[in-house]
Amino acid sequence: MTTVYEPSYEPWDETRGAEIIAEHARQEGATLVILHALQEAFGYVPEAAIPMVAQTLNLSRAEVHGVFTFYHDFRHKPAGRHVLKLCRAEACQAAGGDALAARAEAKLGVSLGNTTADDRVTLEPIYCLGLCSTAPSAMLDGRLIGRLDEKRIDALVAEAQR
Amino acid sequence: MKMKIFVPRDATAVAVGADEVVAAFAQIAAKRSLPIEIVRTGSRGLHWLEPMVEVATLKGRVAYGPVSSEDVASVFESMASNGPHALRLGVADEIPWLKRQTRLTFARCGVIDPRSLEDYRAHGGYKGLERALSLGSDAILTEVTASGLRGRGGAGFPTGIKWKTVAQAKADRKFIVCNADEGDSGTFADRMIMEGDPFLVIEGMTTAGITVGATKGYIYIRSEYPHAVAAMKAAIVAARRGGYLGDKIGGSTHSFDMEVRVGAGAYVCGEETSLLESLEGRRGLVRAKPPLPAHHGLFGKPTVINNVLSFAAIPFILAEGAKAYADFGMGRSRGTMPIQLAGNIRQGGLFETAFGVTLGELVDDIGGGTFTGRPVRAVQVGGPLGAYFPRALFDTPFDYEAFAARDGLIGHGGIVVFDDSVDMRKQARFAMEFCAVESCGKCTPCRIGSTRGVETIEKIIRGERVSENLALVEDLCNTMKFGSLCALGGFTPYPVLSALKHFREDFAPAPTTLQAAE
């Protein structure tokens, strides 16, 4: 069950982007819904899509750009092949998460919030996965892992590097 | 007889191997050619025992835990022969940790299949809505008000009054919004109920809809909770198919439908007005109040916005009556609170109980102290904006007013336990840093104050003019407390000031300076 889940994204394509935008445009307050859908398809929100969203929703480019940059989730460029998120909130801190995060940073040679030079792994902090009673916790490409210890974090890092 | 085995699909259980356990059970059953049925449930909340697996027997469901995939073969033998096993916990309902709880909201969580509307109904689901439909708006409002239910998101505002305000507002459209942006570290009750009993949340929101005359609801779930998003979406589809959402719900003349919206990683969107902005597709900037969302909420229309746990408390109140709920609790805190025990704790999980239990009972007795085995030094109650309490305050009863009287808050009911290795300077610094990162930027005390707070606490940590800088931090905290628009900037001082007040020794100048002063 530890098969590596490889997220696969489409390359940016204007026609496909326009389709996705049109698909969600009729919902009330659609901006976030559309940005999520674009990121789900392409792995990030391409800059070229921002004016397209603005035009469709009858908003200014600045408004859509403002929404895009306000939220931590939206990426302006693709992440590494794997994304390893480490919970850095209080419950995980109380359970020894600080040392494990430092260990992962040292193993990968990047600090939290960065991608390794070979584009294999993006290491990110996350503020609470809601697994606070089985802390410390992490998420690797959407898979949740609790009760982290040195052995488990090493295995996760190795898995992400594959 | 086909063996019926229950394994949680709750994210906590999955994170510690529940899916692998299911695969192992399927494999061994196939090998032994014994037919089994595996039901994926929510979690009972005994998280140190997850994955906790149960098997149906004539005496009730017998539990085993924590079960790893390597244990499955021997657990399977024990189940098949009703024989002993080191991980066997006995009949689940009789486990003392569960038995001493008062489960009103979480009665079904961990018991039923959260994907099955039939299972929900078979366990008393939709009884509250049925009674609500027969009562009508005014009588429902009377019940909700009489129950004493207060907003479970943290603010503790009386739910009945909020609903009444929206019911009385005149508008062409009204909305029901469920705040499922549970961003506080140490809290997971919303997640658990959405994953373990999602129809309960739908029933609560539907009841709100028929009470105030709203036909559309949104549940705004944080993106960090993909399992909860999936569970709610599946439940909404099932409820619609079963006639409990859409036109003429439950055969009545009322219409109500709802949809899931997913957040995008902004903590501040847990603040209700910021959440409304986000739902409207904008930056999550906090709105000044008044106007209240009850008058001028989503898309400018009267809106009931409540936390998941508030909506989830409603079906019990309507099914069993306001008194049955209000009979529990103390003072102005009526009913039960699903308390979440987290961090460095031996027996972490969800413990629903009447208000009034003391902090010490929760941490030492129910929680069993720390899992590192070291002494408990500090507990943070109420999330990143909650105060740090030392052991000296462990006699504080879990109650909105009792915590406020000691400069703390119960917030969303999360308790994060720290052992004696904690450095409270670091925790105080983190509180300010978190506020700086998550501030929406609208008001100055929060936006600038938090950054200056980080810098000043760093000076204290470096030993630079410690007493002057401590005074500065206290002054800054007061500015933030009274000058911020919302709870983010307004409550960040709680963890900082409580760390300073109760753990002053951590902030003292270096020992050499102390000696020199003597």
ipTM for the complex shown: 0.96
Q: Are strands B349-354 and B88-91 parallel, antiparallel or unpaired?
A: unpaired
What tens digit of pLDDT does each residue of B159-182 get? 999 999 999 999 999 999 999 999
Residue B108 within a domain: no
Measured between CA atoms, the residue of chain B closest to residue A139 is B15
Domain holding A129, by residue range, is: 82-161
Measured between CA atoms, the residue of chain A closest to residue B350 is A133
Which residues is B217 bridged to in the sheet? B176, B258
Tokens describing residue B10: 């709750």
For residue A8, what pLDDT band results from cuts at 50, 70 and 90? confident
Q: Is residue B341 domain-shared with residue B412, that is, in the same domain?
A: yes
Q: What is the pTM of this model?
A: 0.96
Rounded to the nearest 10°, the torsion over CA B61, B64, B66, B67 is: -110
Contacts B25 to A, Cβ<8 Å: none
Q: Is residue B411 domain-shared with residue B433, that is, in the same domain?
A: no
Q: What percent of chain B shows pLDDT beyond 90? A: 97
Q: Is residue B156 domain-shared with residue B272, that is, in the same domain?
A: yes
Tokens describing residue A50: 């921002």
Does residue B333 have a pLDDT over 80? yes
For residue B513, what pLDDT band results from cuts at 50, 70 and 90? very low
What tens digit of pLDDT does each residue of B304-328 get? 999 999 999 999 999 999 999 999 9
The helix (run of H) or strand (run of E) holding residue B157 is none
Number of domains in chain B: 4
φ, ψ at B185 (rounded to 5°): -65, 140
Residue B430 to residue A72, Cβ atoms within 8 A: no
- The 3-state secondary structure of B444-512 reads HHHHHHHHHHHHHHHHHHHCCCHHHHHHHHHHHHHHHHHHCCCHHHHHCHHHHHHHHHHCHHHHCCCHH
Q: Is the dihedral of CA B499, B446, B186, B322 positive or negative?
A: positive
Number of domains in chain A: 2
Residue B111 within a domain: no
How confident is the model at residue B493, as a pLDDT? 98
CATH number of the domain encompassing residue B409: 3.10.20.600
- How far the first Cα of chain B sits from its last, in Å, is 79
Residue B266 to residue A135, Cβ atoms within 8 A: no
Coil, helix or strand for B49? helix
Contacts A91 to B, Cβ<8 Å: 185-186, 342-343, 414, 416
The helix (run of H) or strand (run of E) holding residue A5 is none
Average confidence score pLDDT of chain B = 96
What tens digit of pLDDT does each residue of A99-151 get? 999 999 999 999 999 999 999 999 999 999 999 999 999 999 999 999 999 99
Question: How many residues are recorded in chain A?
Answer: 162
Determine the Cα–Cα distance for residues A28 and B495; give it in Å rounded to an integer: 38
Is there a contact between B261 and A33 (Cβ–Cβ < 8 Å)? yes
The helix (run of H) or strand (run of E) holding residue B324 is helix B322-326
CA distance, residue B290 to nearest chain A CA (Å)? 22
Contacts B20 to A, Cβ<8 Å: 1
A89 in contact with chain B, both atoms CB, cutoff 8 A: yes
Q: Is residue A89 domain-shared with residue A157, that is, in the same domain?
A: yes
DSSP B290: S
CATH number of the domain encompassing residue B503: 1.20.1440.230
Does residue B51 have a cis peptide bond before it, meaning omega lies within 30 degrees of 0? yes
Q: Is residue A64 domain-shared with residue A118, that is, in the same domain?
A: no
Best CA proximity match to B298, nearest among B204, B205, B412, B178: B178
CA distance, residue B216 to nearest chain A CA (Å)? 12
A83 in contact with chain B, both atoms CB, cutoff 8 A: no
Residue A5 within a domain: no
Residue A95 to residue B48, Cβ atoms within 8 A: no
Q: Is residue B237 domain-shared with residue B157, that is, in the same domain?
A: yes
Q: Is residue B87 domain-shared with residue B25, that is, in the same domain?
A: yes
Q: How far is CA B131 from CA A60, B136, B200, B211, B250, in A?
A: 48, 9, 15, 12, 11
Contacts A94 to B, Cβ<8 Å: 342-344, 416-419, 422
Residue A25 within a domain: yes
Is there a contact between A115 and A80 (Cβ–Cβ < 8 Å)? yes
- Interface subset of A 13-52, CB within 8 angstroms of B: 28-33, 35-36
Residue A71 to residue B284, Cβ atoms within 8 A: yes
Residue B283 to residue A89, Cβ atoms within 8 A: no
- State which of B274, B305, B326 marks the end of a domain: B326
Residue A115 within a domain: yes
Is A36 annotated in a binding site? The answer is no
Average pLDDT of span B261-290: 97
For A111-128, the DSSP string reads -TTEE-TTS-EEEEEES-
Measured between CA atoms, the residue of chain A closest to residue B346 is A133
Residue A28 to residue B280, Cβ atoms within 8 A: yes
A92 in contact with chain B, both atoms CB, cutoff 8 A: yes
Contacts A134 to B, Cβ<8 Å: 12, 15-16, 47-48, 50, 348
Q: Best interface-test mutation with A: which of B10, B12, B299 has the largest number of A CBs within 10 A? A: B12
Is A128 annotated in a binding site? The answer is yes
Is there a contact between B328 and B335 (Cβ–Cβ < 8 Å)? yes
How confident is the model at residue A2, as a pLDDT? 44
Does residue B510 have a pLDDT over 60? no
> Which one-letter amino acid corresponds to residue B62?
V
Q: Is residue B267 domain-shared with residue B352, that is, in the same domain?
A: no
Residue B281 to residue A57, Cβ atoms within 8 A: yes
Residue A33 within a domain: yes
Is A132 annotated in a binding site? The answer is yes
Best CA proximity match to B271, nearest among B238, B301, B307: B307
What tens digit of pLDDT does each residue of A18-76 get? 999 999 999 999 999 999 999 999 999 999 999 999 999 999 999 999 999 999 999 99
Is there a contact between A153 and B32 (Cβ–Cβ < 8 Å)? no
Average pLDDT of span B259-281: 97
| Cα A101 to the center of its chain, rounded Å | 17
Which residues is B350 bridged to in the sheet? B340
Residue B186 to residue A132, Cβ atoms within 8 A: yes
CA distance, residue A36 to nearest chain B CA (Å)? 8
Determine the Cα–Cα distance for residues A80 and A76; give it in Å rounded to an integer: 13
Residue B106 within a domain: no
Coil, helix or strand for B19? helix
Residue of A90, A134, A144 with shortest CB distance to B186: A90
Best CA proximity match to B488, nearest among B268, B212, B167: B268
Q: Is the dihedral of CA B342, B346, B347, B351 positive or negative?
A: negative
Residue A94 to residue B184, Cβ atoms within 8 A: no
Residue of B15, B19, B264 with shortest CB distance to A32: B264
A54 in contact with chain B, both atoms CB, cutoff 8 A: no
Q: Is residue B315 domain-shared with residue B448, that is, in the same domain?
A: no
| Cα B343 to the center of its chain, rounded Å | 15
How confident is the model at residue A7, as a pLDDT? 66
CA distance, residue A29 to nearest chain B CA (Å)? 4
Does residue B242 have a pLDDT over 70? yes
Determine the Cα–Cα distance for residues B430 and A139; give it in Å rounded to an integer: 22
Q: Best interface-test mutation with A: which of B70, B185, B283, B339 has the largest number of A CBs within 10 A? A: B185
Q: Is residue B274 domain-shared with residue B381, that is, in the same domain?
A: no
Is there a contact between A16 and A10 (Cβ–Cβ < 8 Å)? yes
Domain holding B504, by residue range, is: 424-513
Angle between helices B159-168 and B137-147 (to 10 degrees): 160
Residue B233 gets the label, from left (phi > 0), alpha (psi -120 to 50) or beta, of: alpha
Is there a contact between B396 and B406 (Cβ–Cβ < 8 Å)? yes
Is there a contact between B398 and B129 (Cβ–Cβ < 8 Å)? no
A79 in contact with chain B, both atoms CB, cutoff 8 A: no
Average pLDDT of span B507-518: 56
How confident is the model at residue A4, as a pLDDT? 47
Is A40 annotated in a binding site? The answer is no
Does residue A6 have a pLDDT over 80? no
Tokens describing residue A29: 């307050």
| Cα B351 to the center of its chain, rounded Å | 11
